[in-house]
Amino acid sequence: MAKAAPTFSLKDQLFNADSLGDLAGEYAGAVPGFDRDAFHRAALGGVAERSLLECLDWFADCLEPYLASDFPAMAEQIEAAMPAPLDPTLRDDDFGRFIHAVPGVLAVRHGLEAHRDRALDLLHAATQRFSMEFYIRPFLNRWPKETLARLEAWAGDDNYHVRRLVSEGTRPKLPWARKVDLTLAQTLPLLDRLQGDSTRFVTRSVANHLNDIAKTDPEAVLGRLAAWSGGTQTAKEHEWMRRHALRTLIKDGHPGAMEMLGYAADAEVDVCVDVDRAVIAMGEPLEFEVRVEGAAPVIVDYRILFARPGGKRGEKVFKLKAGRVSRVKPLILKKVHKLKANATTFQLYPGIHGLIVQVNGVDRARTTFAIV
């Protein structure tokens, strides 16, 4: 019998003998009396029983006995142990190493209450090695006025990792992170400063931030993007930011988002949809063809209305194609949609199901199929 392929573990890839050996070496070179081998054994020994983020707290626990109890002195030791800043000549996808998130843990743990300004200085240095987006958030909640003032200054920092932190750290729906109690009036002016940035690492964060906001206030996002048009950002980058920022609204078929990207709700197109088989067995795929005729830029999506017990319906939108259709060249799209009978996150039921084709957010064609 063939052996099962080993399961990939992000935690084990990030925190292992080599990476923790590097961390131990950095502190051994900066902190007198640091026992490199003892730290390495302790830190590595605690990885297996902890989650990824819990490991960072554990590494901080293992470091603390070697560091000064006075936070300003501790911060100096931590900064002395930091590796060189990430390459400032790069423009994107240079995240650094997760082991260098530990200074953020210590800044919050020991500096939040009594040493705010020194802790923020530490985060400024640390984020040039690994993003402090998780660790700036406790300061925003505890000291909003003072921390926002610091972020306002950082929005003009020479280091693009610091500038990115201003946007990423204030995102309303940052994955894995604690909530921040900030209003749009507090955060949008920061994005106004950052939207013209020359690095994609920053503008991607700004677009992701807007996408977060779009889930609760679409009009605020559309208004900001309109205000930025023709401003300091290049036309090409602004177009990329618009598309990235509006991706959730486009998936939802929001008319204003569609219009901003040039996909008119009233586009003159004719649409038809045909299913390969009107009756399919449970677990078999749904195969269908969509034909779009006309002359317009189009985003074609489809929705499945799933049958539910008691006559209820479940509904889900799926992406199909974005492009331009012309009078002489219709858009013909074929799709095989897998319908898993035993999916762990979604239960299929027999019955009559609906298939609706959307063009530019508007329902244009529909049909039905049965699952037996």
What is the end-to-end Cα distance of the chain in Å, rounded?
36
* Residue that the structure tokens 């935690």 belong to: 11
In contact, 306 and 353? CB cutoff 8 Å: yes
Tokens at 86, concatenated: 């990430």
| Confidence band for 8, pLDDT divided at 50, 70 and 90 | low
Cα separation, 299 vs 192, in Å, equals: 29
**Nearest-CA neighbor of 270 among 151, 131, 365?**
365
Q: Where are the domains of the chain?
A: 67-260, 269-371
pLDDT at 261 over 70: yes
pLDDT at 4 over 70: no
pLDDT in tens, 107-143: 999 999 999 999 999 999 999 999 999 999 999 999 9
In contact, 227 and 189? CB cutoff 8 Å: no
CATH number assigned to the domain covering 269-371 = 2.60.40.1930
In contact, 319 and 251? CB cutoff 8 Å: yes
pLDDT in tens, 17-64: 999 999 999 999 999 999 999 999 999 999 999 999 999 999 999 999
In contact, 244 and 283? CB cutoff 8 Å: no
**From the DSSP assignment, how many helices (H) and strands (E) are in the chain?**
16, 8
Category of 3 on φ-ψ map: left (φ > 0), alpha (ψ -120 to 50) or beta: beta
**Nearest-CA neighbor of 353 among 333, 332, 334, 372?**
372
Cα separation, 278 vs 268, in Å, equals: 29
pLDDT at 85 over 80: yes
Fold of 67-260: 1.25.40
Mean pLDDT across 219-239? 94
- What's the pTM? 0.84
The neighbour count for residue 309, using CB atoms within 10 Å, is 8
**Nearest-CA neighbor of 26 among 72, 80, 75?**
80
pLDDT at 211 over 90: yes
